């Protein structure tokens, strides 16, 4: 079950009021996106667990690793001040969302594409020696053609 690390999104006591508001808003948006991507979470005291891998993926059509469902189970989604955009770590399966996404004018659909983009970096079956840039063709195709999401598949060109 993918783990949404709620505490990382919860504003700290020392954060400015504007940031508190933005972080609460982003957390709400991420929950909405994950509900759409995966379905309802299991709510625990330390975070939300999302049992189902992203809806609509097809291992063969999308060229995913055989264990992509297991990868989803080990994925952690967190807010990170040291990240600007969004990143995926193929070794720890950690997806970090950074301060760029605190902007309220970002659309839910674009946030959905970003979370899918980072998740797919972990799941596409390409050699580790391939740079992330080489993943992008396949990831964009999955988002546009496989999952049929309208508009540009990679609206902010995240890593």
Residues that bind Zn ion (CB under 5 A): 132, 159
Task: Write down the least CB distance from residue 88 to Zn ion, Å.
Answer: 7
Nearer to Zn ion, 11 or 85 (CB): 85
Containing H/E element for 87? strand 86-89
d(C-alpha 21, C-alpha 143), whole Å: 30
At its nearest, how many Å lie between Zn ion and the CB of residue 25? 24
- CB 4 → Zn ion: shortest distance, Å? 20
CB of 45 to Zn ion, least distance (A): 33
Q: Please, which residue, 39 or 137, has the CB nearer to Zn ion?
A: 137
- What CA–CA distance (Å, rounded) separates 36 from 84? 24
Q: Which is nearer to Zn ion, 6 or 114 (CB)?
A: 114
Cβ nearer to Zn ion, comparing 25 with 132:
132
In whole angstroms, the minimum distance from the beta carbon of 133 to Zn ion comes to 8
Specify the residue, 100 or 132, whose C-beta has the smaller distance to Zn ion: 132
Q: Which of 145, 147, 148, 143 is nearest to 156 (CA)?
A: 143
Contacts of 157 (CB under 8 A, 6+ apart): none
Measured between alpha carbons, how far is 128 from 144 in angstroms, rounded to an integer?
A: 24
Q: DSSP per residue over 29-47, as a string?
A: HHHHHHHHHT-PPEEETTE
């Amino acid at each position: 079950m993918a783990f949404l690390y709620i505490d990382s999104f919860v504003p700290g006591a020392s954060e400015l009021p504007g940031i508190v508001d933005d972080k609460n808003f982003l957390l709400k948006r991420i929950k909405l996106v994950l509900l759409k991507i995966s379905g309802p979470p299991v709510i625990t005291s330390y975070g939300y667990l999302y049992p189902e891998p992203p809806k609509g993926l097809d291992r063969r059509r999308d060229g995913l690793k055989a264990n992509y469902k297991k990868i989803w189970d080990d994925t952690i989604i967190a807010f990170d001040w040291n990240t600007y955009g969004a990143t995926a770590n193929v070794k720890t399966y950690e997806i970090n969302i950074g301060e760029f996404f605190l902007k309220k004018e970002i659309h839910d659909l674009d946030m959905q594409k970003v979370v899918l983009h980072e998740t797919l970096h972990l799941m596409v079956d390409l050699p580790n020696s391939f740079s992330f840039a080489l993943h992008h063709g396949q990831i964009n195709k999955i988002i546009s053609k496989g999952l049929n999401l309208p508009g540009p598949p990679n609206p902010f060109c995240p890593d």
